Chain A
């Protein structure tokens, strides 16, 4: 199904195409079709999992751009999501804007706010930058909890998106907003990373001094990476708020930001498909633990409910640890090996 031997790019357009063969177009169309039809044959629970998964994918795509491509470690993605969620809530509930305007505007507001988050990257990098982004998380969440406009620690109610009288007030309806937005954001991210900007990000990541010598304005590109990353977080936050109908400070804990980094590592840094792999694997594991724990308690009554829950959690940690030992370059790397071996088939090398 991947480009078999004998198919060559003859024009620049062909060379630049993301989807290269008719077969790939077919697979993509069918996959998107099946995905969009999911609410017709999937349970309410599965649809809700898909919605959460898609929102997480958007947030992690942003993180992939700043961390995976530009090499600036950020633990602040959850806080940036909070900025997007609250911005969208305030724009719709207090200023009366439509969700359709509020969502992108919330993304831009978060992007601007992200420039603050990215400012330390002009002076520090690596571990020190990571710690600075943790500080930004705490400052952001402190503000959210203490400002009148954000509803302090009580939070803000948010109404569902509407088109005329039609409200997207159920999981199934929100699915048709969240999934297309996720697809569009994925397409955007895929394109960003293969443009001049994307190549500059990679240059900054690989060796910032060398990049600077080559004429790349590293401060500009670092800040741009933070802006784009936070734009993604803002859109994800906006969707999250309107999907759940409420913004609350405890929805955006630091742990969430840490998990996003975990998803990137598991999926593979510097890879757009890696985002999907990481998010899906972690969420699938989490859901499995969530669903299996009550069964552990039922199958092994002597164990009790709480230890059974702990067992699930331990299994979760064990799988992750084993995964990182066996595949430290992430699932995306495994995916690349698989694609290469299919392309080369029947030859081994």
Chain B
């Protein structure tokens, strides 16, 4: 009986100790930290995980070379599981740790909640691509072009393609995406841009993340006479949509275009027949371009111990974000010195890294005091013969954010 009590007491006391925060935020001299509140598991893991790997490996590489003027950058990765309560709790556990100078969140609702908490502070928080953060300049910094700017670039491509095919009249485009804030974001400005350019935008078809079949949405769009379908979501959503579309024989009549969270080379190699002909817009390198990129290849093979053809291109996106972070820290050290690195100084430096090169993995950095866009260029790729091959060079994205009434 007594032993049982002791056992229970040990369990309760251990739980109490853990919950009372015996493990405070990490803080070392000459070391700053980057907090990655990411979804290593959950619906956006396919995007978040390779990107986090990229950030972690690039920072490891910088640290292995002695850091930035002796300052090392610690990477703290926390799996938030696409759960708001967990993400908030994780944020709060590091919120007042001064060594954490910048952070990243992948979940849109968490971003919206933190917007409120971070209102008075100056703290760089990297987020996926909501144009709202460009419309209201503040602490949130999309990794690349906003969703609406990417959609607007797609409209330009659609018009060129329409003309190339010798078609007359207005092309019709529709969004087929997740039924959440992300799924609607691209049309907040994107729709205005399309209409301005003479492209008809049909009502969106939105479905819950994780849907296994898309026949109803696809059939409805086909009946509406759509010419182009812009597919949103994090892969394997696009792969599943294309599988259903192929079964219905739609790719012969309709051109499918994927949002920049579309299929990776790895995903394409699993279902090449379904994805054949799909156009993918991307602000980071894809396919062989990414897997043969010298820096990405070196980092991947060194820190992941895997051949380059096993690399998910989201890895490059993470490396690009880490290059920007390092650039901002370098700028801050240059301005105020290594001992005065604060969140505010890093925030100020993020506004000064305009034009910073990301070694061609992403376009030049577009952050500035008036811009929260991580970049303003994209490339178009097409799935051809089971590979994702570029069909354009980098093209500038139009400003669709400013067209929306926020």
Contact = CB atoms under 8 A, between A and B. Distances in A.
A294 B76 contact: yes
A248 B84 contact: yes
Given A45-B93, A244-B113, A249-B180, A294 B78 contact: yes
Contacts of A21: none
B112 A285 contact: no
A161 to B, nearest CB: 14
Interface of B is mostly: helix
Contacts of B184: 152-154
A212 interface: no
B203 to A, nearest CB: 13
A290 interface: yes
B29 interface: no
B15 A153 contact: no
Contact of A153 (B86, B113, B179): B179
A284 B16 contact: yes
Given A45-B21, A290-B93, A334 B8 contact: yes
A283 B21 CA distance: 13
A294 B90 CA distance: 11
Interface residues of B, number: 50
Contacts of B19: 49, 280, 283-284, 287-288
Nearest to A250: B109
Interface stretch (A108-116, A117-125, A309-317): A309-317
Interface size class of A (residues with CB under 8 A): 35 or more
A309 B113 contact: no
A291 B77 CA distance: 10
Given A246-B115, A306-B40, A44 B92 contact: yes
A184 to B, nearest CB: 23
Contacts of A287: 18-19, 89
A155 B112 contact: yes
A285 B77 CA distance: 18
Given A294-B76, A305-B40, A245 B86 contact: no
A295 B23 contact: yes
Contacts of A294: 26, 76-78
Given A153-B179, A248-B113, A313-B79, A305 B89 contact: no
A285 B108 CA distance: 25
Contact of B40 (A281, A283, A309, A341): A309
Interface in A220-265: 244-246, 248-251, 253, 255-256
B117 A245 contact: yes
Interface stretch (B49-57, B223-231, B396-404): B49-57
Interface in A258-314: 280-281, 283-288, 290-295, 297, 304-306, 308-310, 312-313
A313 B89 CA distance: 16
Interface string A127-148: 0000000000000000001000
Interface in A325-348: 334, 338, 341, 348
A46 interface: yes
Contact of B116 (A52, A246, A288): A246
B85 interface: yes
A293 B56 CA distance: 15
Contacts of A152: 184
Contact of B52 (A49, A293, A305): A305
Interface string A72-87: 0000000000000000
Contacts, number: 140
A292 B93 CA distance: 12
* Most interface-central of B36, B40, B79 (chain A CB within 10 A): B79
A341 B21 CA distance: 32
Interface of A is mostly: helix
A103 B75 CA distance: 41
A251 B108 CA distance: 11
A171 interface: yes
B23 A153 contact: no
A313 B109 contact: no
Contacts of A155: 109, 112, 181
Interface string B77-102: 11101111110111011011000000
* Most interface-central of A291, A292, A297 (chain B CB within 10 A): A291
B77 A245 contact: no
Nearest to A323: B11
* Most interface-central of B26, B86, B93, B179 (chain A CB within 10 A): B93
Interface in B215-252: none
Interface string B18-54: 1111011010000000001000110000000100110
* Most interface-central of A49, A308, A309 (chain B CB within 10 A): A309
B23 A292 contact: yes
B183 interface: yes
A218 B85 CA distance: 36
B116 A244 contact: yes
A157 interface: yes
Contacts of B8: 334
Given A49-B19, A244-B88, A287-B19, 11 more contacts: A43-B24, A46-B21, A248-B84, A248-B112, A249-B180, A250-B108, A255-B83, A284-B19, A288-B18, A291-B93, A294-B77
Interface of A: 43-46, 48-49, 52, 145, 152-155, 157, 171, 244-246, 248-251, 253, 255-256, 280-281, 283-288, 290-295, 297, 304-306, 308-310, 312-313, 334, 338, 341, 348
Q: Sorted from nearest, which 5 A-B pairs have the closest CB atoms? A: A309-B79, A245-B116, A305-B77, A250-B109, A288-B18
Interface of B: 1, 5, 8, 15-16, 18-21, 23-24, 26, 36, 40-41, 49, 52-53, 56, 75-79, 81-86, 88-90, 92-93, 95-96, 107-109, 112-113, 115-117, 179-181, 183-184
19 contacts: A45-B92, A45-B96, A49-B19, A153-B183, A155-B181, A249-B109, A250-B107, A251-B84, A256-B85, A280-B15, A287-B89, A290-B93, A291-B18, A291-B23, A293-B79, A305-B40, A305-B52, A310-B79, A313-B41
